[in-house]
């Protein structure tokens, strides 16, 4: 008997990690919600939890890929939010919000929604395709997921000025894709067309969920001090624009594009609740930072070598991720309860920011890791290069 047979049997007998089960269950939960909310009215607070918890689980674990290393064992360069960016974000957000408000007041709302739906719909097609592609790839044979097609072209000078990240960036573009790319982008494009025509809330939510997952998994806040500055600024921003003016509520109600999650409250007559994507993405980026700090602490304590390609389903202690995620859910529930008591729109970050920030700090204090938390950074290589360039200029 071949010795490979017992090995194969032993491998097959290895139980799946709890993380692998939770990760797949999160996708299953979202898929089930997309289906049953067309027929069953679920309490709004429960809907919020059933949408946001799976989003956080999927996106935060995918964000561990930001810890991937290159061939030299160094972390790959990532674009992270700087302290200046964090301080200016509420200002730019206010300008954008006020501009939308004035545009809806001065221009035809139909025309505004047509333009915004077209723009965000195209972005949504890409976001949805990239979100579901790992699931689709897992169901297809390798010959359908390998990049067999190539498209080469030179970016025109005008477009290079708009899209190039560096002045000396190569204008030659090489796009590689597979049959699975064609499948997921094709289906996503069809869904985008149906949404543009019908404004069906389920497809709207699909695009909204995809936007959240892609934003959370790709954005790094560099370090916790930057995260605290950003959250404090948006805490004030949210309170001012919701309680101080009609601007936020007016724009949210007028906006038809997929920039929120819709919760059906009644089918006949149609009534809905909404949760802005910012109330998911902003805390989600912070929770993503927490899980990467968990990963860092596990590496340091167990002297693990840097991973070329991080296994997001590998189990490791996640006290910060779990505690802050629970705090986020409690903050959402509090938002929903207060909204129902006062029957008025609430700035969700008023509750989410204190819940998440104080929980993260409390966890660090109880574990004696406050110093470690404040010293933890991401995107170090980029910062070192900037310092070296500044020294040379001096």
Instruction: Determine the Cα–Cα distance for residues 224 and 89; give it in Å rounded to an integer.
Output: 16
Q: How far apart are CA 361 and CA 364, in angstroms?
A: 5
| Structural domain total, the chain | 1
Residue 87 lies in a domain: yes
- List the one residue out of 203, 202, 377, 209 whose CA is nearest residue 281: 209
What does the pLDDT average to over 236-248?
A: 92
Residue 108, domain member (yes or no): yes
Q: Tens digit of pLDDT for each residue in 138-164?
A: 888 888 888 888 788 776 766 655 566
Report, in angstroms and rounded to the nearest whole number, the Rg of the chain calculated over CA atoms: 23
The single residue of 170, 279, 311, 372 carrying the catalytic annotation is 279
What pLDDT score does 308 carry?
74
- Band of residue 293 on the pLDDT scale cut at 50, 70, 90: very high
**What's the confidence (pLDDT) of residue 315?**
87
Catalytic residue, from 142, 238, 309, 383: name it: 238
Has 137 been annotated as catalytic? no
Residue 163 belongs to domain spanning = 16-393
Query: What is the pLDDT at residue 97?
Result: 94
What pLDDT band is residue 70 in, cutting at 50, 70 and 90?
Answer: low
Residue 238 known to be catalytic: yes
Give the C-alpha separation, 111 to 257, whole Å. 12
Q: Which of 168-177, 207-216, 245-254 has the highest mean pLDDT?
A: 207-216
What average pLDDT score do residues 197-226 get?
93
Measure the CA–CA gap between 9 and 280, rounded to whole angstroms: 42
Give the percent of the chain with pLDDT over 70.
85
∠175-181-185 over CA atoms, to 5°? 105
Task: List, in order, residues 6 or more apart from 188 with CB less than 8 Å away.
Answer: 124, 125, 126, 128, 129, 132
Domain membership of residue 11 (yes or no) is no
Q: Would you say the C-alpha torsion 361, 364, 369, 375 has a positive or negative sign?
A: negative
What phi and psi, each to the nearest 5 degrees, are found at residue 149? -110, 145
For residue range 15-25, what is the model confidence (pLDDT) as tens digits?
A: 456 777 888 89
Residue 253 lies in a domain: yes
Q: What is the pLDDT of residue 306?
A: 76
> In this prediction, what percent of the chain has a pLDDT beyond 90?
55
* pLDDT (average), residues 65-73: 69
pLDDT band with cut points at 50, 70 and 90 for residue 34: very high
Q: Identify whether 3 is part of a domain.
A: no
- Give the model's confidence band at 208: pLDDT under 50 very low, under 70 low, under 90 confident, else very high: very high
* Residue 239 belongs to some domain of the structure: yes
Is 60 exceeded by the pLDDT of residue 388? Answer: no
Average pLDDT, the chain: 86
Query: Residue 1 has what pLDDT?
Result: 40
pLDDT > 60? residue 387: no
Reading the block at residue 265, the tokens are: 């409250």
pLDDT of res. 348? 93
Query: What residues contact 50, with CB distance under 8 A and at least 6 apart?
Result: 29, 33, 42
pLDDT band at 359 (very low <50, low <70, confident <90, very high): very high
Residue 292 lies in a domain: yes
| Structural domain includes residue 129 | yes
The backbone torsions φ and ψ at residue 155, rounded to the nearest 5 degrees and listed phi first, read: -70, 130
pLDDT score recorded for residue 168: 66
């Amino acid at each position: 008997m071949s010795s490979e047979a017992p090995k194969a049997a032993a491998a097959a007998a290895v139980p799946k990690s709890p993380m692998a089960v939770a990760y797949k269950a999160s996708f299953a939960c979202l898929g089930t919600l997309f289906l049953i909310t067309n027929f069953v009215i679920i309490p709004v607070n429960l809907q919020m939890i059933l949408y946001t918890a799976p989003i956080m689980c999927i996106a935060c674990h995918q964000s561990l890929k930001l810890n991937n290393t290159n061939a030299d064992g160094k972390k790959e360069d990532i674009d992270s939010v700087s302290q200046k960016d964090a301080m200016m974000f509420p200002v730019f957000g206010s300008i954008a919000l006020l501009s939308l408000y004035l545009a809806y007041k001065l221009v035809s709302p139909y025309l505004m929604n047509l333009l915004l739906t077209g723009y965000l719909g195209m972005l949504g097609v890409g976001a949805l395709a990239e979100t579901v592609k790992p699931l689709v790839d897992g169901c297809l044979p390798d010959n359908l997921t390998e990049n067999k097609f190539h498209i080469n072209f030179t970016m025109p000078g005008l477009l290079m000025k708009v899209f190039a990240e560096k002045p000396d960036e190569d204008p030659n573009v090489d796009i590689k894709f597979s049959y699975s790319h064609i499948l997921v982008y094709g289906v996503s494009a069809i869904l985008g067309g149906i949404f543009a025509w019908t404004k069906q809330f389920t497809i709207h939510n699909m695009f909204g969920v995809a936007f959240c997952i892609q934003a959370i998994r790709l954005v790094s806040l560099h370090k916790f001090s930057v995260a605290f500055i950003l959250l404090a600024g948006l805490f004030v921003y949210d309170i001012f624009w919701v309680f101080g003016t009609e601007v936020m509520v007016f724009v949210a109600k007028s906006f038809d594009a997929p920039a929120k999650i819709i919760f059906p409250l009644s089918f006949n007559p149609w009534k809905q609740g909404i949760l802005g994507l910012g109330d998911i993405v902003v805390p989600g980026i912070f929770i993503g930072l927490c899980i990467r700090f968990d990963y860092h602490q596990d590496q340091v304590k167990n002297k693990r070598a840097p991973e070329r390609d991080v296994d997001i389903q590998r189990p490791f202690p996640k006290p910060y991720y779990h505690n802050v995620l629970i705090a986020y859910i409690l903050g959402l529930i509090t938002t929903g309860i207060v909204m129902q008591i006062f029957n008025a729109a609430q700035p969700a970050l008023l509750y989410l920011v204190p819940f998440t920030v104080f929980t993260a700090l409390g966890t660090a204090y109880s574990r004696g890791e406050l110093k470690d938390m404040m010293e933890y950074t991401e995107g170090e290589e980029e910062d070192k290069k900037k310092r070296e360039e500044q020294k040379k200029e001096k």
